[in-house]
Structure 1
């Protein structure tokens, strides 16, 4: 399976995106957690009050993050196209550029603006496709672009060919690819016209805001984690504290009674999933980083973990998702979905037997792991201990899968070396 062309292209593309994900995630941590009044570090040290030109510095980090993490899908389209072309000995530069342009065409959304009596047509970009959540679509577009070049540009690349000849032979596949992209763009516009994405989003929000039983919270949490493994948005991946009516009701009760105990909604996405099921981001990936540091023998895994630990500590887990990679990797699907479920069950047990109160108070943005539950319960020490216990169990869950991943990787390298010797 790992030798299939699409799988090879997907894995290589994600590995090429790793440096951008690392640097962009670190910039995002500085922007959101350190240089913001509502961020975790900024809230503790009051950085915005004593650091000169903090707004300008923060804007630079925000811009850097936007031009790295926020355009990962665009880079994925280019890399996937180039890698596919390389597999079939086609023009990698033209294929990559065409795939990237096709992605941007598909992502365009026309918007009518009224300025006085005149109406102007403007083009915005669909933000849902641009960041890491659009990587799968970017890889698909790049791979399909490479296949179009393979079919309609059958003459192999010659080293002796001049640049113009190589570019000239790509006119037909470029025209076909961009033509298909325009058609797909029009289909997407029609889908948005009938508000199908808005209907799906409203359905998810209705599920996340109205279903507060323990069983339904566990199911929706597991479903959200599975969709996040595919880099798709789930019912719990698009809701903040202020958007959760149950969290607001719990907070109102706690402020009125001066206590987080006996709140009306004890088993919700806020009290269970966001507070205990996402240590280090969706999939509890902070535990994966720690597991790699403890048991991994591959130098590449340790290199990824060293770069990923800082942003992952603040819940920016893009580096670990792409560097191993975890996304679309069947080896890590089970722990990626299972750890949030285990965490929520343990937290629910502790809440039910009043070992700790439910998480009621909002935490600063990007608060690390167990500290989020500690702050959210008003500084309850047992909540901190439960969080540490959960983190330990998560590491133990991830350890055998890290070993299995290394074993599979080593076997793949041995087979590759054997194939090279045969040739």
Structure 2
């Protein structure tokens, strides 16, 4: 929650980039902005937004590790600041890409562990380092003013937990180097390949549950890849058929798990949009309401990280169960309507940054039934989230009352 402002700014930059400014974006193309927006202006805006997005998300692991170590050490009255610095150094050592050829201008770190999509690893590492300071470091009371002699003593007192933490980081880094472990998104290729290509509804739902659960516990790479281009043989066959016949009603693979999930049960956008609306309907806390209002826009363009951290959604067991329930309901309802031929399957390619409520309408070549179903489904999802949000708020109030007591 402390990092919510960072993720919110990054989410807004991501939404503006993918939905409006990028040359492949939805708004840029439907308005034919290339006819009146000078390229030098577009290039500079793209550079600025990508820089903000990179700082907020690609290096988020460093912030997460620092905060986790700091708060853990502070909880046990240890040196929180040095614990946070140690967690950053340790994460950087683990992320060192020793097999990369030397380059003068490029940092030799793998972005896999530093990215927000591996928040679970950063969070766990920071927590473990905070525990090392708990077990090996002396008690420390943070002071408002600190003299040089006090700082010198403080650093030497924390030398043992820092040394052990960095030694563990070196061992892990050497192990990854010796074993030639490639820290990359390829770890998830197998699971995603099955989800991309399966035409079995139940198998698709099972894999969608796994992908959603991983995203909500801080492993977002599978979900991010799922929302990218689907180049599976089945998806390509569907798109070719739809382009040739001008319709997607009779495509050969109409129950593709990846297409049903990304169109009607997308945890990055569509489902989170329903949760935000539920929060707006129930929230009495002005900070929660303001958070929902600010994150509504970026979430429509698959950039919900500000809401994920600020609500919080990540690591929240109640909200995780609610997400899984909504994803399963959406996929089952969609599969049923596809079987009844009330809506056509999605098969046409869509522009980057197409707003989630409009994506199925565009991907079915403007089918009105799909648009109506998307609106009805959003209402159903909001109704499904309402009891869970009410339950979560009740627990939050109880925790706050216990702390005040």
TM-score, length-normalised on structure 1? 0.88
Write the distance in 2 (CA, Å) between the matches of 1:140 and 1:292: 29
- State the shift of 1:42 in Å: 1.7
| Aligned with residue 91 of structure 1, among 66, 74, 79 | 79
Where does structure 2 lack aligned partners over 5 or more consecutive residues? none
Q: Does 1:201 align with 2:188?
A: yes
Write the distance in 1 (CA, Å) between the matches of 2:327 and 2:286: 28
- State the shift of 1:258 in Å: 2.3
- Give the equivalent residue in structure 2 for 1:421: none
Return closer, same or farther for 1:114/1:196 CA change in 2, 3 Å cut-off: closer
Q: Does 1:19 align with 2:5?
A: yes
| Aligned with residue 111 of structure 1, among 87, 93, 99 | 99
Residues 287 and 395 of structure 1 are in contact (CA less than 8 Å); yes or no, is this contact kept in structure 2?
A: yes
- Give the equivalent residue in structure 1 for 2:50: 62
Q: CA RMSD in A?
A: 2.2
Write the distance in 1 (CA, Å) between the matches of 2:56 and 2:320: 26
| Aligned pairs (5 A) from 1:242-257 | 242-257=230-245
- Give the equivalent residue in structure 2 for 1:295: 282
- State the shift of 1:322 in Å: 0.6
- State the shift of 1:279 in Å: 6.3
Return closer, same or farther for 1:357/1:318 CA change in 2, 3 Å cut-off: same
Residues 251 and 360 of structure 1 are in contact (CA less than 8 Å); yes or no, is this contact kept in structure 2?
A: yes
Return closer, same or farther for 1:322/1:168 CA change in 2, 3 Å cut-off: same
| Secondary structure of residue in 1 paired with 2:52 | helix
- Give the equivalent residue in structure 1 for 2:37: 51
Residues 37 and 46 of structure 1 are in contact (CA less than 8 Å); yes or no, is this contact kept in structure 2?
A: no
Residues 225 and 234 of structure 1 are in contact (CA less than 8 Å); yes or no, is this contact kept in structure 2?
A: no
Q: Which moved more, 1:251-260 or 1:161-170?
A: 161-170
| Secondary structure of residue in 2 paired with 1:59 | helix
Q: How many residues align?
A: 397
- State the shift of 1:390 in Å: 1.0
Q: Does 1:73 align with 2:57?
A: no
Write the distance in 1 (CA, Å) between the matches of 2:381 and 2:337: 17
| Aligned pairs (5 A) from 1:214-363 | 214-233=201-220, 237-239=224-226, 240-278=228-266, 281=269, 284-363=271-350
- State the shift of 1:369 in Å: 2.0
Residues 73 and 80 of structure 2 are in contact (CA less than 8 Å); yes or no, is this contact kept in structure 1?
A: yes
Where does structure 1 lack aligned partners over 5 or more consecutive residues? 1-14, 419-423
Residues 195 and 208 of structure 2 are in contact (CA less than 8 Å); yes or no, is this contact kept in structure 1?
A: no
Residues 21 and 319 of structure 1 are in contact (CA less than 8 Å); yes or no, is this contact kept in structure 2?
A: yes
Return closer, same or farther for 1:247/1:182 CA change in 2, 3 Å cut-off: same
Write the distance in 1 (CA, Å) between the matches of 2:184 and 2:100: 19
TM-score, length-normalised on structure 2? 0.92
| Structure with larger RCO (C-alpha < 8 A, sep 6+) | 2
Write the distance in 2 (CA, Å) between the matches of 1:114 and 1:20: 31
Write the distance in 1 (CA, Å) between the matches of 2:60 and 2:183: 25
Return closer, same or farther for 1:40/1:217 CA change in 2, 3 Å cut-off: same
- State the shift of 1:341 in Å: 1.5
| Secondary structure of residue in 1 paired with 2:315 | coil
Return closer, same or farther for 1:155/1:222 CA change in 2, 3 Å cut-off: closer
Write the distance in 2 (CA, Å) between the matches of 1:276 and 1:131: 27
| Secondary structure of residue in 1 paired with 2:209 | helix
Return closer, same or farther for 1:349/1:71 CA change in 2, 3 Å cut-off: same
Residues 331 and 401 of structure 1 are in contact (CA less than 8 Å); yes or no, is this contact kept in structure 2?
A: yes
Residues 208 and 235 of structure 1 are in contact (CA less than 8 Å); yes or no, is this contact kept in structure 2?
A: no
> What whole-Å deviation, never above 9, does each CA across 1:38-85 have from its counterpart, x for those lacking one?
212222223344223211111111001101122221100111111112
Return closer, same or farther for 1:111/1:274 CA change in 2, 3 Å cut-off: same
- Give the equivalent residue in structure 2 for 1:129: 113
Residues 280 and 368 of structure 1 are in contact (CA less than 8 Å); yes or no, is this contact kept in structure 2?
A: no
Write the distance in 2 (CA, Å) between the matches of 1:127 and 1:269: 29
- State the shift of 1:244 in Å: 2.7
- Give the equivalent residue in structure 2 for 1:145: 129
- State the shift of 1:318 in Å: 0.6
Write the distance in 2 (CA, Å) between the matches of 1:88 and 1:195: 36
- State the shift of 1:105 in Å: 1.1
| Aligned with residue 20 of structure 2, among 34, 43, 63 | 34
Q: Which moved more, 1:73-82 or 1:346-355?
A: 346-355
| Secondary structure of residue in 1 paired with 2:71 | helix
| Aligned with residue 141 of structure 2, among 120, 141, 157 | 157
> What whole-Å deviation, never above 9, does each CA across 1:195-245 have from its counterpart, x for those lacking one?
697774332243124422122112111221111111225756424334232
Q: Does 1:375 align with 2:362?
A: yes
